[in-house]
Amino acid sequence: MASRGDHLFKGDRAFATGEGWLARLIAPAFKPVIDRLDERLARGGIHGTLPDGTRREVGFNAPGHVATVQLHSYMALVRLALAGSVGWYKAWERGEWSSPDPVPLCALFMDNALSLGDTARAKGPMRWLNALAHRMRDNGIVKARENIAAHYDLGNDFYAQWLDQTMSYSAAMFKEGDSLEDAQERKIAALLDRLDLKEGDRLLEIGCGWGSLAIAAARRGASVVGLTLSTEQKAWAEAKIAAAGLADRIEIRLQDYRECDEAFDAIASVEMVEAVGERWWPAYLDCIRRNLKPGGKAALQFISIDHRLFPAYRESADFIQAYIFPGGMLLDEPGFEKLAAERGLAWTDRHGFGHDYAETLRIWRERYDTAVESGGLDGFSGRFHDLWRFYLMYCEGGFRGRGIDVAQVTLEG
């Protein structure tokens, strides 16, 4: 009997993970991968245990993140060497490696991504197959709806179990003593502060989520149009807006950003651009340029990957693209900024806060585990819960390893 969320495991069919009888036959020959890791880990290291019980210290050439890993099968190294993070997740799911805490390992890999080179990246035919599988999920107007539904239509009840009361599914901005909800409200306020909204201004929100930013903007006097492709999010946002008595100020549309052509005083978008895919970055910025009145401002919150890592990242597909966000792509910030400049949009007042995203993800994982233990997520399989936990740990490690960042920026037309 199928469980909710099982559709996310389509990645097992679409993406190569290093499976097969030949891989199992030659798995012990991949033991030298450990030697390459040992040589190329510039900072930090791994306290490892091999399948035969032998202890192995890997790296420790300079201070850095320290992980503990039990290697139960050399198949894990096959998958890592051939299929990168897609294979590494599959090896974890299969029990071919384990760790008391995978977050430091993910942080270690990210912190050393440049020195590791292709050691932990997909290569050869598997890289090509995974790149092709990712491109088959390209976010054209029809496919974008399917991709968004795959993630966000898991159900409002699912997200409500572990997000905070604002239903914010993006990085919070913390100050000492903040609850998650406090930090999320601070993030929303910081983004809106960039727009200098006045009473009666029209605000377009591209990717409006569950409506919290739209409500906050309406309370500042703005008239808001929010765009989403998720029927679940639209229903939740409209109910929340009605309960707040702001239905006359906010309209939530089930509409693609490429189909919007109106005049707005300001535009806001929080962690939406990562979902559109590199091919559609120009269209996304064209939407901002087309809909923003002369002299208006747009405020974006986005996730980017280290510019030096982007060429290798774009040539394949990672765990997130295979299982979590079909069609997505983290920003190459310099490249995206250049596209904005070509459209007459000045890139100003950038503020990065990747460490806050790591903390946000840690709290989400704690809340997720609590929801599972209390029975709040009983409609999902154990396999799904493991996938979601790995996703949250993988992302937290990426931010702690500083290879990915989150930032707010103002675009001025």
What is the bridge-based pairing of β-strands 250-254 and 223-228? parallel
**Which tokens sit at 113?**
């991504």
CA-based R_g, the chain, Å: 22
Whether residue 56 has pLDDT greater than 60: yes
b/e map 149-160, b = 16+ CB within 10 Å: bbbbbbbbebbe
Handedness of CA 280, 283, 285, 287 (dihedral sign): negative
CA 261 to chain centre: 28
- E-strand spans in 115-237? 202-206, 223-228
What residues form DSSP beta bridges with 67? 46
pLDDT given at position 172: 98
pLDDT given at position 124: 84
Q: For residue range 214-239, what is the model confidence (pLDDT) as tens digits?
A: 999 999 999 999 999 999 999 999 99
Give the DSSP H or E segment for 187. helix 180-193
Measured CA to CA, the distance from residue 365 to residue 94 in angstroms comes to: 21
What is the bridge-based pairing of β-strands 292-305 and 404-412? antiparallel
Tokens 């198949």 appear where?
Answer: 75
pLDDT given at position 413: 81
Whether residue 22 has pLDDT greater than 70: no
pLDDT given at position 29: 81
pLDDT given at position 126: 85
Name the pLDDT band for 164 (thresholds 50, 70, 90). Answer: very high
CA distance readout (Å), 325 to 11, 150, 262, 350, 362: 11, 8, 29, 25, 19
Mean pLDDT of 100-108: 98
pLDDT given at position 15: 87
Cβ(76)–Cβ(102) under 8 Å? no
DSSP structure string for 190-211: HHHHTTT--TT-EEEEES-TTS
Expressed in percent and rounded to 5, the helix, strand and coil fractions of the chain are 50, 20, 30
Whether residue 1 has pLDDT greater than 60: no
Q: For residue range 351-408, what is the model confidence (pLDDT) as tens digits?
A: 999 999 999 999 999 999 999 999 999 999 999 999 999 999 999 999 999 999 999 9
Q: Is 395 a catalytic residue?
A: yes
Measured CA to CA, the distance from residue 184 to residue 178 in angstroms comes to: 9
Q: For residue range 248-299, what is the model confidence (pLDDT) as tens digits?
A: 999 999 999 999 999 999 999 999 999 999 999 999 999 999 999 999 999 9
Measured CA to CA, the distance from residue 353 to residue 226 in angstroms comes to: 25
Phi and psi angles of residue 171, each rounded to the nearest 5 degrees, phi first: -65, 135
The closest of 233, 288, 287 to 259, measured between CA atoms, is 287
pLDDT given at position 38: 96
The closest of 95, 96, 71, 76 to 23, measured between CA atoms, is 76
The closest of 171, 206, 172, 194 to 411, measured between CA atoms, is 194
Whether residue 13 has pLDDT greater than 90: no
The closest of 186, 183, 182, 235 to 211, measured between CA atoms, is 235
What residues form DSSP beta bridges with 406? 303
Name the pLDDT band for 41 (thresholds 50, 70, 90). Answer: very high
Cβ(40)–Cβ(60) under 8 Å? no
**Which tokens sit at 206?**
């591209």
Q: Is 250 helix (H, G, I), strand (E, B) or coil?
A: strand
For the CA atoms of 172, 173, 175, 176, what is the dihedral angle to 10 degrees? 30
Catalytic residue among 106, 208, 287, 395: 395
Name the pLDDT band for 2 (thresholds 50, 70, 90). Answer: low
